Amino acid sequence: MASIMTNAAALTALQSLNATNKSLEETQGRISTGYRVAQASDNAAYWSIATTMRSDNKANSVVQDALGLGAGKVDTAYTAMNGAIDAVEKIKDKVLLAKTSSPEDRAKIQSEIATYQAQLVDSVSGSSYAGANLLQTDSAATVTKLTVISSYNRDSTGKVTTGSIDIAYANIRLIDTNATPTGVLDKNGTASTKSILNIDVTNLTGVTGTSESQQFDNLLTDVEKALGLMADAAAELGAAKSRIDTQKSFLSNLSDAIDKGVGQLVDADMNKESTRLQALQVQQQLGIQALSIANSNSQSILSLFKNG
């Protein structure tokens, strides 16, 4: 039926063109943003999951930064600790050498020992990173350990917990800034009553009635004890360093896995969208042409009257 009131063909062509334009707009949006789910209206479930996963990944990024800062502190302390152990071993060798040396030679040996003692103080005092010195701390301070955040965990109920790597200052303290020092290097020995930093082979003092030979043995006993404590401290720092490095690597891999997971949910397939764009552009052109043809049908009704 030919009607001048209702052009059914034009209406159908217009609806088809509108649908094509809507799909074209959607595809162009995906290509321009790179997302097939850019907002909640695109797919509420996927958008919600992706938003939560992105939030967790941001938290993991903060943890990685904290681990990086902690790694710097621990690496610095570990390097300084190993240097301190070398210096104390040299002091031990000089004390042993002084035991059977003449007074004149002991003065020369003491000069070398003093150099190593100064080296110890300088290396420990200079082992700071970001304002923190793990080897030189105050035994009376309220903060008793280094805490490095190592993980961020959120369960299905939304409850958050964090993991940490802790190093007790008391286990690695070489020099104590407290008035009554308890550091490995500055506290008095149990055998010789001398600390590593005040050993003097030219002026031995010890328990009354103790022979000179025994006093040297007492010095060596305390040096060996200090070396043992320093070895334990180096082992603790080394273990913490290994844990931090392992956790940093794990978080890096986890972050990549989360990014991939989010991408699978919300990223647009650019090959697919590009092909779809070209098809829709052709459909749009055909739709415009179809609408033009449908509109021209109304003009053909006039010809009926002209012919009459």
For residue range 100-133, list pLDDT tens digits in order. 999 999 999 999 999 999 999 999 999 999 999 9
User: What DSSP state is assigned to residue 141?
Assistant: S
Question: Is pLDDT at 1 greater than 60 in this prediction?
Answer: no
Spatial neighbors of 7 by CB under 8 A, at least 6 apart, are 294, 295, 297, 298
DSSP β-ladder status, 145-154 and 160-168: antiparallel
Cα–Cα distance measured from residue 24 to residue 279, given in angstroms and rounded to the nearest whole number:
9
Token output for 46: 């996927």
Q: Region 12-20: what's the mean pLDDT? A: 75
Spatial neighbors of 307 by CB under 8 A, at least 6 apart, are none
Nearest by Cα to 220 from 85, 91, 39: 91
Q: Region 273-281: what's the mean pLDDT? A: 75
| 300 confidence band (pLDDT: 50, 70, 90) | low
Confidence at residue 158, expressed as pLDDT on a 0 to 100 scale: 83
pLDDT tens, residue by residue, 155-180: 888 899 999 999 999 999 999 999 99
| 144 confidence band (pLDDT: 50, 70, 90) | very high
**Maximum average pLDDT range among 15-24, 234-243, 271-280:** 234-243
Least reliable range by pLDDT among 119-133, 228-242, 273-287: 273-287
Residue of 280 and 285 predicted with greater confidence: 285
DSSP letter for each residue of 202-247: TS---STT--HHHHHHHHHHHHHHHHHHHHHHHHHHHHHHHHHHHH
Confidence at residue 70, expressed as pLDDT on a 0 to 100 scale: 95
Question: Is pLDDT at 235 greater than 80 in this prediction?
Answer: yes
Confidence at residue 172, expressed as pLDDT on a 0 to 100 scale: 97
**Burial of residue 1, with CB atoms counted within 10 A of its CB: 0-12 exposed, 13-18 middle, 19 or more buried:** exposed
The CATH number given to 50-266 is 1.20.1330.10
CA distances from 106 to 101, 200, 202, 254, 303 (A): 6, 9, 6, 60, 129
Least reliable range by pLDDT among 193-202, 234-243, 287-296: 287-296
